[in-house]
Structures are given as C-alpha cells and as structure tokens.
Amino acid sequence: MKNYLVVLFILIITIKGFCQSNVNPDISLIGTFNTTTDLTKDSPDKGKINFEMPEMELFVDGYLNPYARATGNIAYEEGEFSVEELYANIVRGLPLETQIKAGKYLVGFGQLNIVHPHAWSFIGRPLFHQVYFGSDGFNDIGFNFSFILPTSFYSNLDIGIYKGDAIGHSELVEPDEEAIAEHRGRSPIFVGRLGTFFALSDYSNLGIGLNGSYGVHAKMDLNTLGDTTAALINKSLDYTYAGLDFKFKYRPDDYTVLTIQGETILNHRDVLREGTVGINSPIQSLQTINTCGAFIYVDYLFEKMYSIGAKYDYTNGIVDDAPGFNTLSNDDKNNTQGLTAWFGYYPVEHTLVFRLNVQHLLYHYADGITRDGSTNITLQMIFSLGPHKAHPF
Amino acid sequence: MKKLLIVFMMLVSSLSFANVKAVTTLTIIHDLVKNIGKDKVDVVYLCRGNQDPHFLEVMPSYMLKLRNADLVFEIGLDLEKWLPQLIDGSRNTSIQVIDLSQEIEKKEVPTTKMDARYGDVHPYGNPHYYLDPLDVKIMAKEIFDALSTQDPGNADYYEKNYNDYIKQLDAKIAEWATKMTKAKGKPIVFFHSTWIYFADQYGIKTAGFVEPKPGIPPTPSHNAEVINLIKKGGVKLIVMENYYSDSAPNQIARITGVKVIKVPGVYGMEEIDSYFKMMDYIVDQVTNNI
C-alpha cells in the first residue's frame, strides 16, 4: 500500500514536470457497494446480510497527442489495490486506418467483456466468463490491431496477441503459482474478432460478432507409464475458443430501451487425465475435450430511470469450485446453470444506480453427486463521480 | 448483358461526385449546409430531429458516416460530448471539426465554479443558440467560410447560395419578429433550459422550468412549485422539445389548464423539413396559444 502511494506520488511529480500540455486528463471515480444475502438451503450464512467491502475504480483517461489516447484504471477490490487496466491506444494516423492498443486491458472476445461490470444491467459476471476467462473476465497484457473492413455496412477485424494470464485464471488461482503455467508469456495466445453492425432502422440496431482464441494453456511433464522412476514426457496443451455474440437494441425514444444480448463459446482443449495405476503411479494421458457455455439476457429500460431484466446462463464446469487444473475450463463432466432477475433504478442517468439482483444457480455433477441449488440476493449501489463518456452501443 | 448494364448504372449512380463530404451533428445544421452547399456537398447528419442531442449512443454506423468526411459541423459548447469518441472510432485523420459557436455571443456562461449539484450545466455556456434566428445567420456564415476554404474552386457558388439563403432568412426573421410581438413580455414555462436565446430574442419572460435543474428529471415537489408558479404568474404555455417525456408537463397541464407545446427539431416531425418550417411551427404554436 505504501509502495503504491510512493509510486503514485512520483508519477504525479513526473507528469507535471514533463507535461507539454496544460490540459488535464479526465479523472473519474466509480464506487460500488454490494450487500448480499445467501438464501441457499442449509447454508450456515442463510439469511445473514453480508455488507461487502466497497469497491472502487479510478479512471484516468485522455489524449496523449492528436493520434493516441491513454487510459489507466486502478481498482480497489477486496481490500487490495490493483492495476485493472493500463494501456495506450493509437487511434489514427497509422497505415490502413489501423488502430493499435497496447498494455493491459479487457480483451474484445464478445461484446460484454469489454464493458466494465459497473455498466452492465445486472450484477455478476456471466458463468461462462468465470469458467473460461476467470473471475475478472478476459483481462490480459498484449497488443491488439484493429482494422475496419471495406464493406458497405460497418465491420471490423481485431487481431491480438496476449500473455495468456486470463486463460491461466480459468484453471488456476494464480497463473504463476503452479509449474504448469511456467511457460506463460513465452507461448503467447492469439485472439481475433470479426464484428459487424447493422442499423436496422432509426430505432433498432444489431451487432453480431465471431470470436476466436488459440494458444497453449499449459505445458506439462506427463508420466505416461505410471512409473515415477521413468523419464517424463513434456507436452504442450493447446486450447481453442470459438464464440458467437449478438446484441440487439430497440430504442423507440430517449426514455425506453429494449436490449437483448447473448454470447456463446465452444472450448476445444487438451487436458490431463489420470487413468489406472501403472507400475507405481496413475498413468497420465492427454485427452481432448469439447465443452461450451452461453448466456442470454433481456433488459427493458423504461421511463429512463427503471430497468427490469432476466438472464439465463449455462456453462460446463462448476462455477464456485476452488480453481484447479481439472476444474472449470478443463471440466467436461459437470455443468452449472444460472437464472438471474434484476430491477435497476437510475434516478439521474448513471451518476447513481441502485440494483436488486437475484441469482439462482443449479449444479449438475456427472458422477451422481447431488447438491442443492444456491440462491443469492444482492442489493447494489454504484456512484459515478466525474466526467463519463457517452454510452457505447 | 442488359442486367450487367443495369447493375453498372446502379453502382455509378450510388457513387457520390460531390466536392465536399460533410457530416453535421444536428439536423438544423444539416439544413443549413444543404442550402449553402447544394449539389456540391454531400451531407448527412448524426442526431435525428426527435432525439436528445445531449445523449447520443456511440454507434459504429455513425463512425461509418464520419469515416470519409472532410468536414464535421458541430454546435459546440460541450453539447456533443459524444463526438470525439465517434471521430476516434471513424479513424479519419483528415476530418476537420467546425465549431459553429465560435462567433456566437454565449449566454449563461458560468462565472463561478460549477459542479454536478447545479445539474447538467454546460461549462462554456448554453449551447442552444440555434433557436435564435440571428445566431443562425452567424452559423450560416461559418458554414459558408468552411465550405469555401475546403473547396475554393466553388467559393463563388457557395457565396451565391449563402447570399440567397440569408436573403430568405432575413425575410423570415422579420416575419417571425412581427408575429412574436404578441408574445413579448408574456411568461412561458420551458421544460429544459434550451430556450434562453429564443426567449431573449423575442422578449419572452422565462417563468420557470419543468426540470428542477438542467438535465434532472422532474420531481413531484418541483411539479408542485411549477403548478404554483403557473397559477400565480398567469402562465399559459409549457414549451418543450418532443424528445422529452410529456408526463410531468401533462400532469401540470391537467391541474392548471396550461397548454403544452411539443417542438420538434428539423426532420423531427412530418413536414418539418427545414429550419424555416421548424421556426414557423414554433412561432405559430406560441403566438396562437399565448
């Protein structure tokens, strides 16, 4: 904490010293306060009101020069500061009208991941995002190259190369914690998105995208003989994500918006499986699994200040399991389904938001384990201080 | 072969041969550019005439409109906060932003530190100057200058169109001024603080606003204050843009008997296809009901 303050102080002094502009960047502060109640049957905390530690996001954003912007987002979550995003974006001036984004940021896999959770209509990351990208979403370090395609309608192609931390988060607590993730950063992952946008009428618009990601998610020394004295065989474990997303908005006037949004992902990957005991230990082998996830929601904003909505989620993997190599994105046996409903109140635009969110999760285990569904109610308050950008589609 | 020819002709006809490609943020500016640029300028707008210009969603289709434009005309004074995001998204390196507020005598420029407690206040002054026709003359001059600079070969053409338009506008200004003498000194309640330039031009007394603060939705307690104000002040009209909800004004009207006038922007209503027709509509509605 002390180190953060020292760094911040040095940054402020340095910026002032080397600044060639007397125009300050935009600074805004987002505060989120959640109060949750667990209504799960037999839960020790059933009915107890849990006042969570408030979360904060401090955004600093502005033009570096006529060609580039820079953004920083420092988050305070669960009692810790972290750099949520820090990137520069060359927005114009490059050949082929290319835009280049470099740093740490939310990766454009689907349309929801690039939107900060405080701007979502509901509370809680979609289940498949948690399983395949980790609890903080697809947030990674790398470069993205963006091109507008020469079509009569709007279409763009994004190609990125990343360290792969987010993929690591989908199977481990910390990507550097286990030996299997040692290679991360040396075997970068690739992400691509083909996005299209159609203005269906003056009042309705549709965005559709195809997403893909490919890379090595782990390297492992396999004991293929079940003999601890035998030489281990080093293997790379690949993964491929393919996704489809859409977002439809109908806005008949400035007070009413109907939004229907959905995303799906197909996960094709190599995973480690342990079979029967060989000479003195289980025989390890690689298998290829195919799993999937999806969500769809409907949100209806009326009178400009009220919104109601519902979401359905499905994903392979058990969402709130402690992450481990054979859970979450490597789990093709089990699945989680979620039903969510919410009511939002926006008294003055998005400067102050109140939300009541109910989520019910259903767990399905292939080996016959029975587990009651869990139900959570969350009351959320969000405030937004400072300038905020126009809302994207 | 015949089909090929038809396709070729369709393709050719869809190509634009205009000398200047322009985008306007508001439809009012679109009408002015269309009148001054005529067939030498290919112009499209972003915000519809029945849409709140304060809040426009950043949509890729707008970026596409800006992508190949030479000029984008804006009202300025922080009205179009969404424009920089759209220009960034368009990746257009050569587009020039023409801020039409440069020569306007600004009203309601804050003299003290402003913050969100005063509502959605524009820090550089009230941007709704386009409701004063004399300011529209200044806007037209800015547009003429920008087109002539961008396309000097047709400067004479733009000058002729500009002079023709100003001639028509002057005649309309005189006509509206005559009609509006009926409203001079009369009180009107407005929905949003859009109307100060209009009210000052025609000597209208601004009795109050339906919004408690600029951009802040009406509240029951403030509605009660407005009802009291209307009853005491002899107010006969509430004037509002047609993109705002008429729920609170209608509620006030039911209690006080005041008339609610909903005003469109250019193209914001059928038959309102020019600035002249928009102003005719406003002037007629006000003078017939005050």
DSSP state of B182: G
Q: What is the CATH number of the domain that holds B229?
A: 3.40.50.1980
Q: Please indicate, yes or no, whether residues B19 and B143 belong to a single structural domain of this protein.
A: yes
The pLDDT value recorded for residue B114 is 83
CA distance A20 to B243: 42
The answer to whether position A73 is within a domain reads yes
The answer to whether position A364 is within a domain reads yes
The pLDDT value recorded for residue B112 is 86
Q: Is the pTM of this model over 0.95?
A: no
For B101-104, which contacts have Cβ atoms below 8 Å and span 24 or more sequence positions?
A: B101/B75, B101/B76, B101/B77, B101/B125, B101/B127, B101/B129, B102/B76, B102/B142, B103/B138, B103/B141, B103/B142, B104/B129, B104/B135, B104/B138, B104/B139
DSSP state of B130: G
Q: Please indicate, yes or no, whether residues B111 and B185 belong to a single structural domain of this protein.
A: no
Helices in chain B by DSSP H: which ranges? Answer: 2-14, 27-37, 60-67, 83-90, 133-150, 155-180, 196-201, 220-233, 247-256, 275-289
Q: Please indicate, yes or no, whether residues B113 and B57 belong to a single structural domain of this protein.
A: yes
Q: Which two tokens stand for residue B39?
A: 């067939």
Q: Please indicate, yes or no, whether residues B118 and B241 belong to a single structural domain of this protein.
A: no
Angle between helix B27-37 and B133-150 (nearest 10): 50
Residues in B touching A147 (Cβ below 8 Å):
none
Determine whether the interchain pair A197/B82 forms a contact, defined as Cβ–Cβ distance below 8 Å: no
CA distance A106 to A119: 14
CA distance A373 to B253: 52
Cα distances (Å, whole numbers) of residue B57 to B45, B52, B114, B121: 14, 10, 25, 20
Cα distances (Å, whole numbers) of residue A188 to A131, A173, A316: 20, 19, 25
CA distance A87 to A101: 7
Phi and psi dihedrals of A371, rounded to 5? -145, 130
Q: What is the CA radius of gyration of chain A?
A: 23
Which residues of chain B, if any, have pLDDT below 70?
Answer: 1-17
- Closest A-chain CA to B241: A254
Q: Please indicate, yes or no, whether residues B125 and B188 belong to a single structural domain of this protein.
A: no
Facing A154 at nearest CB: one of B51, B58, B63: B63
Determine whether the interchain pair A348/B48 forms a contact, defined as Cβ–Cβ distance below 8 Å: no
Q: Is A304 on the interface with B (CB under 8 A)?
A: yes
Q: Are A315 and A131 in contact (CB under 8 A)?
A: yes
State which residues form the domain around A88.
Answer: 35-385
Q: Which of A189, A152, A156 is nearest to A170 (CA)?
A: A189
Residues in B touching A393 (Cβ below 8 Å):
57-60
Cα dihedral angle (A4, A5, A11, A17), rounded to 10 degrees? Answer: -160
Q: Are A331 and A369 in contact (CB under 8 A)?
A: no
Name every residue in B having a CB less than 8 A away from some CB of A. 48, 50-52, 55-61, 63-64, 67, 81-82, 85, 88, 91-93, 116, 215-217, 243-245, 247
Q: Please indicate, yes or no, whether residues B30 and B169 belong to a single structural domain of this protein.
A: yes
The answer to whether position A10 is within a domain reads no
> What's the start-to-end Cα distance of chain B, in Å?
65
Q: Please indicate, yes or no, whether residues B91 and B148 belong to a single structural domain of this protein.
A: yes
The answer to whether position B2 is within a domain reads no
- Of the three residues B152, B176, B200, the one that is the final residue of a domain is B176
Which residues of chain A, if any, have pLDDT below 70?
Answer: 1-22, 172-185
Residues in B touching A305 (Cβ below 8 Å):
217
Phi and psi dihedrals of A101, rounded to 5? -120, 130
Q: Please indicate, yes or no, whether residues B30 and B142 belong to a single structural domain of this protein.
A: yes
> What's the start-to-end Cα distance of chain A, in Å?
37
The pLDDT value recorded for residue A232 is 87
- Of the three residues B150, B176, B202, the one that is the final residue of a domain is B176
The pLDDT value recorded for residue A22 is 64
